[in-house]
Amino acid sequence: MEKKEEKIIEELNKKIEEAQEADGFFITISHKIQDKLHHYQAQINFKPDDCVLSLNEVEKLVRKTAPRTALSIVKFRPRSFK
């Protein structure tokens, strides 16, 4: 593994340890094999609406380094309860 990849894995492990000490956490890991995307999601003590809000924040992080494309996702919005 390259040094850059090792640093990313170390940071990921550190963030997972921090999450385990929190009141709750939501973790999503996505990977691509050939042309197929795969996703893993885990949550402990994290409300579904908070997960959706977190996905909005993740999109902002991604957009900082990548401009919008024709395939850009629409905003996630938490479900409103009546």
**For each of the chain's 82 residues, which pLDDT tens digit applies?**
689 999 999 999 999 999 999 999 999 999 999 999 999 999 999 999 999 999 989 988 888 887 776 666 666 566 665 5
Name residue 33's beta-bridge partners: 36
pTM of the prediction?
A: 0.67
Domain residue spans of the chain: 1-46, 47-82
